[in-house]
Structure 1
């Protein structure tokens, strides 16, 4: 019986090649996009799930009240590890992990920046990172023994066995040999924690003094715990207040500073502070992409449904004959569902091929490592899509056609308008609604991103190179910063003397959210004043073409202006200063200082953030003497900003490298472009915009094919009417308008609903920007006119072909 169903289904699909082709193309494209997106969502949701007993693993989250505002971060002090291990018996294992990096010597004696994780010995026992060589119980216990990944081993030792060999890392002022005691398989692509080298946390003594490692207010990296029972998390959170009261002593203030535990499963989707070094994704992005995939699939399914109902006149007699011969409702339903299943199955195969072709582009767009490996889960998604689309696309036509009464379909021709005209119009209108919704959203996103790209940030980013100065590790943070600045000053002076260089400056913060350091100090009224600080040197203002609106710049000579500050307009406005050069910072905690100038406001952070008060200084001691809070979320190394004096970039680059090799012999020479750092801030929304644009194009294509087929079916059912109208003198234009006005009304309804809804939905997306712009009303008018014109063009071309048929052929008796 089932074999017969398939034979009949194949015969019917081959008989109606046009409609079969339209369904196959539409479903294949929709499925290709859908497979990529749903596999991507599944991949993102699988992050960190490969660890055994992952439900028992939690991250420590800090909560600190500052100036009445509760600041939350996954950064936490090193002392958490020892205190929690002692105070909470519910904790089975605990580790801190701190991302850091130093210079490393390669086998050819060249140097490169090498990152690593500083962790406790519990790390490898908590997580399922596969140890290929070495004893698990012996890892991370010896200060000078490290664990590396396969890729790292190949980089340093080629194909040789790395166990027992050493890697030379610059810890402090000297290089230190670290022996490889363990080899790990490369980190899975769906791991939030990525690293090349694991180093015992005992090496923190190279980066911090004992006070910093034991202070509750000195934050280093993150802490992760594994509980004996996951339900113990509530007990720990409840007891946290008592533990903090005991730990802080006189500094304790109820509800002011405490910690909570959050599941490992939330790590990849965290948008909180203190996630530096972790690969995270906004969960909202996954739901948006899933919604886009579902809408595109829905449009393709609607095509299938509307065409199946539209072909009711040609399938009606088949249903009547089969029912007369004894076929029951369930048999007919199964027959039509078999046709839907076959089309869906073939479309899925074509969709998989399309997804494989699009995969490299998709991975490049989202900077991911998605692999269509067809695991059990991915195969389950494919089967689910086949069943879902078969049900969505084929269920209603199957039930509708199977319910036809033989007497109605056998007594004469069945009108194409029979029964469900309103439903077909509604489905076509819904297609237009989805298409215009996506197009309108794309228009809004493209306009906003174009506004961002062309917005005047208040400084010059063109042809500005950024070079990071090698780190000078020290247990004293201030000493390390001061030594690094001395190195930066030497390089900056060397560059300033070169004819290829127009100007060169020194800075700690470059551009982007959290690039400048966040600091605060208490005011006389007890409130806290928050601002940003950046330590600068050389010709910083000239390189970026920053404008001074009063006063003067800081003296570039090292040692000069060590107690002087520059501020921006927002800083002066916060205190309502008329002449800031006559003012002092309103706190007697600061060492003697002077405000020497005011810089015109500029956007040092992305345009998601408003302009905030900024203080520029040369000496960290003067700033640190008066602040009560310091938050560093970016690299602490100074950078040199350089602008070329000519368009000969190769000569310019050669000059930079020549001076680099002289000032920093053996150090790797690397640089980035400042404008690339600016563009990188908006990558996530740029990607989303491209994805919505692609979905809009696909939606238009599929909806257009559906409209083409529906118009063809409508005209095919009214050929005699067209013949009569032509005989009576109707023009081609009037006949086209007769068909066109019906679909123009449907298109207009889709426009009228989708445009206001898109404005409402996109408003929340635009709210994330401090600088925002809506498209002009002209853009939406042109969009509406384009949609109406496109619809009428399809209808006109179809009806024009029908009016060319000789009325004698359409009116002759059967």
Structure 2
């Protein structure tokens, strides 16, 4: 019996090749994109779940109040780890995680900058990163022992066993030798914590002084705790105030400085611009992608249903004959569902092939390492898609047509007033609504991102190259910056003397969210004032093209202006200064200093945030003397900013490398472009925009195929009517307009509902930017005209062919 159902289904599908082909193409495209999206969502939701203690591991989140409200960060003081372990019996284990990097080499032919993580000895007992060689309890006990991943081992040692071998890393003033004591499998792609080398936390002594390690206001890296019972999270958080009162003493103010615990299972899906040291994905992205997948599948299913409605007359006679021959309602339902199932299964196979072909592009777009592994959960996703599509696409022919009464069908008295008109028009209108909603959303995103790219940031980013130079590690923070700047000045002067270089400066921070360091000091009234700071040298402001509104620029001489500050407009406004050049910072802890200039406001952060108060200084000793809070959110290595003369970028790069080899012969050379650093801040939204554009293109393609098929079905059903009208003298234009009018009305319905809804839905997305730019009403009018023209073109191509047919041929059987 089942064999006959499949035979009949195959015959029916083969008989109507055009409709079957359109259904297959539409469903295959929809399934291919949807499979990638649903597998991606499942992959993202599985982050960090492979740790056996995942439910008990929490990351500390620091809350500190300033003049702008509560500042939330995952950077924590070094002293946090031992304090939590001592103060809370609920805490079983704790580990620090501090990022760093150093020049590393085996010999003079293998020199490169190597990032690493400084962690506590319990790190590999807390997290389930798989050791291939070594003991998890022992490998991180030795200060000069290093644990590396397989990829890192291959980079340094090739195919030889790295265990027991050594690499040299510059830690402090000298190169130290680190023995490889552990080998890890490469870190899983679904781990938020990514690294290449692990070092014992005693190594932070090279760069973090004792006073900073014991300070509650200097923050470095992150802290993770393991609770005996995950339910005790609230008990620990309730006890934090008492702990802070104990450790801060007279500096304690209730509710202004405290910590909370964030489950490790939740830290990857964060709706924040500053996720800390980990890679994160915004939950909103997953919801948007899921919505896109659902909408594309809806359009494909609507094609299936509308074509079933269009063929209802032919299929109704089939139902009438089969019922007369004894077929039951359930058998007919099963027959129609079998056809839908066969179409869906065929489309699923084609969709899987398409998904595999699109996977490299998808991974490149989202910078992921997604693999289409068909395990239990993936099988459930595919099964759910098959059942869902079969149900949606086959529901109308299966249940409505199977319930028809044979006597009405065979007499020709059956009315499909709702089925052939209302439902069909509604579904086609819904297709256009989805398509135009995606297209309008794409228009809004493209317009906004173009505005972001072309926005004046207050500095020049064209032909500006960044070269990160080695720092001078020291337990004295001020000494480290001063000595690294002194060496960088030698390189800067060498570059400034070349005719290919227009100007060159030195900076600690470049551009991006949290790139400038965060500082704070107490005002005379006791309130905390927070600002952003940057240490600069040479012709920094000139190279960056920043404008001085009042006063002057720094003297480029390294020994001049050691007590000078330059502030931005926002800093002066926040202080209510009418004449900033006559003012000093209102805190007696600051060493004598002078504000020599006010720079025009510039965006040191991305355009997601507002401009903040900023201080630029040449001497770290002067600025750091007065602050009581410092958060280092970027590296401490100086960067040389270089502005080239002309457009010969390759010549400029060769000059940079040539002078580098003279000043830093033992260090690896690397550079980047400032405009690429700026663009990096918006990659997530750029990727989302490309995904929605792709979805809009696919939606239009599927809807166009559906429109083509529906127009063909409509015209086929009205062939005799068209013939009669032509015999009575109707022109081809009037007949074409008669057919077009119905579809144009449907198009207008979809457009006029989609456009205002797209504005409403995109409001939340565009509100995240400090700079907003909506498309003009002309753009939306052109979009509506384009949609109407597109519909008219598709329908007119069909109606024109119909009007050219000879009426004698169409009416001869009457």
Residue aligning to 1:473: 473
Quote the offset at 1:798 in angstroms: 1.0
Q: Shift of residue 433 of structure 1? A: 0.6
Q: Distance in 1 between matches of 2:572 and 2:211?
A: 36
> Shift of residue 415 of structure 1?
6.6
Q: CA deviation at 1:264?
A: 0.8
Report the CA distance shift for 1:647/1:288 in structure 2 as closer, same or farther (over 3 A).
Answer: same
Paired position in structure 2 for 1:197: 197
Measured against aligned partners, the alpha-carbon deviations of 1:15-58 in whole angstroms (never above 9, x if no partner) come to 00000000000010111111111111111111111111311211
Counterpart position of 2:77: 77
Alignment of 1:113-262 (within 5 A): 113-262=113-262
Residues 313 and 413 in structure 1, CA contact (< 8 A), matched pair in contact too: no
Name the structure 2 match of 1:586: 586
Q: Secondary structure at 2:504's aligned position in 1?
A: strand
Q: Which residue of 2 aligns with 1:486?
A: 486
Residues 139-177 of structure 1, C-alpha deviations (whole Å, 9 max, x = no match):
211111121111111111111111111111111111111
For 2:509, the equivalent position in structure 1 comes to: 509
Confirm or deny: 8 A CA contact 2:217 2:629 kept in the other structure: no
Distance between the aligned counterparts of 1:461 and 1:690, measured in 2? 24
Question: What is the SS of the residue equivalent to 2:268?
Answer: helix
What is the match of residue 783 of structure 2? 783
Deviations 1:462-505 (CA, angstroms, capped at 9, x unpaired):
11110011021111111111111111111111111112211111
Deviation at 1:307, TM superposition (A): 0.7
Deviation of 1:241 after TM superposition, in Å, equals 2.5
Give 1:775 deviation, angstroms.
Answer: 0.9
Residues 116 and 672 (structure 1), Cα distance of their counterparts in 2 relative to 1, 3 Å cut = same
Shift of 1:68: 7.2
- Mapped to 1, the partners of 2:25 and 2:273 lie a distance apart of 45
> Structure 1 residues 179, 616: CA separation in 2 closer, same or farther (over 3 Å shift)?
same
What CA distance in whole angstroms lies between the structure 1 residues aligned with 2:419 and 2:28? 30
In the other structure, the counterpart of 2:603 is 603
Matched, 1:456 2:440: no
What pairs up with 1:722-741 in 2 under 5 angstroms? 722-741=722-741
Check whether the contact 1:205–1:475 (CA below 8 A) recurs between aligned residues: yes
Moved more, 517-526 or 630-639: 517-526
Instruction: Give the drift of 1:592.
Output: 1.7
CA shift for structure 1 position 381 = 1.3
* Residue-by-residue CA offset, 1:679-733 (whole Å, 9 max, x unaligned): 1111111111111111111111111111111111111111111111111111111
Distance 1:165 1:624, change over 3 A: same
Q: For 1:295 and 1:273, locate their aligned partners in 2 and report how far apart those are by CA, in whole Å.
A: 28
Local SS of the residue matching 2:218: coil
Alignment of 1:39-58 (within 5 A): 39-58=39-58
Q: Give, in angstroms, the shift of residue 222 of structure 1.
A: 1.1
RMSD in angstroms over aligned alpha carbons? 1.7
Is 2:220–2:632's contact at 8 Å kept on the other side of the alignment? no
**Distance apart, 1:416 and its partner CA:** 6.5
User: Are 2:424 and 1:421 equivalent residues in the alignment?
Assistant: no
Alignment correspondent of 2:640: 640
- Quote how far apart the aligned CAs of 1:569 are: 2.4
Q: After TM superposition, what 4+ stretches of structure 1 lie above 6 angstroms from structure 2?
A: none
1:107 shift after superposition: 4.3
CA deviations 1:568-616 (Å, max 9, x no partner) are 2222333344433233223333222222222222222222222222221
1:106 aligned residue: 106
Distance 1:573 1:75 in 2: 29
CA–CA distance in 2 between the matches of 1:68 and 1:689? 32
User: 1:713 maps to what in 2?
Assistant: 713
Matched positions, count: 814
Deviation at 1:357, TM superposition (A): 1.1
Q: Tell me which residue corresponds to 2:800.
A: 800
For 1:222 and 1:364, the matched residues in 2 are separated by 29
Q: TM-score, normalised by structure 2?
A: 0.97
- Aligned-residue offset at 1:778: 0.9
- Cα distance change, pair 203–433 in 1 and its aligned pair in 2 (3 A): same
Distance 1:722 1:132 in 2: 77
Structure 1 contact 471–484 (Cα < 8 Å) conserved: yes
Is 2:543 aligned against 1:543? yes
Q: Matched residues in 2 for 1:801 and 1:692: separation?
A: 35
Distance 1:565 1:478, change over 3 A: same
CA shift, 1:336, in A, is: 0.5
- What is the CA–CA distance in structure 2 between the aligned matches of 1:611 and 1:227, rounded to whole Å? 40
Contact 1:468–1:637, Cα closer than 8 Å, also in 2: yes
Structure 2, unaligned runs of 5 or more? none
Query: 2:91 aligned with 1:91, yes or no?
Result: yes
Superposed CA offset, 1:636-659 (max 9, x none): 221111112233333322221121
Q: 5 Å matches for 1:290-309?
A: 290-309=290-309
- Worse-matched range after superposition: 217-226 or 433-442: 217-226
CA distance in 1, matches of 2:418, 2:316: 11
Task: Report the CA distance between 1:180 and its aligned residue.
Answer: 1.2
Q: Secondary structure at the match of 1:537?
A: strand
Return the offset for 1:358. 1.0
1:247 shift after superposition: 3.1
Aligned counterpart, 1:759: 759
Kept after mapping to 2: 8 A contact 1:233/1:261:
yes
Tell me the equivalent position of 1:348.
348
1:549 is paired with a residue whose SS is strand
Give the secondary-structure state (helix, strand or coil) at the position aligned to 1:609. Answer: coil
Asked if the contact 1:110/1:666 (under 8 Å) is kept, the reply is no
- Contact conserved, 1:6 with 1:338, CA < 8 A, in 2? yes
2:705 counterpart of 1:696: no
556-565 vs 78-87, which moves further: 78-87
Matches within 5 A, 1:437-448: 437-448=437-448
The answer to whether the Cα contact below 8 Å between 1:244 and 1:258 also exists between their aligned partners in 2 is: yes
> Structure 1 regions of 5+ residues with no counterpart?
none
* Cα displacement (A) at 1:277: 3.2
Aligned CA distance change for structure 1 residues 401 and 16 (closer, same or farther; 3 Å): same
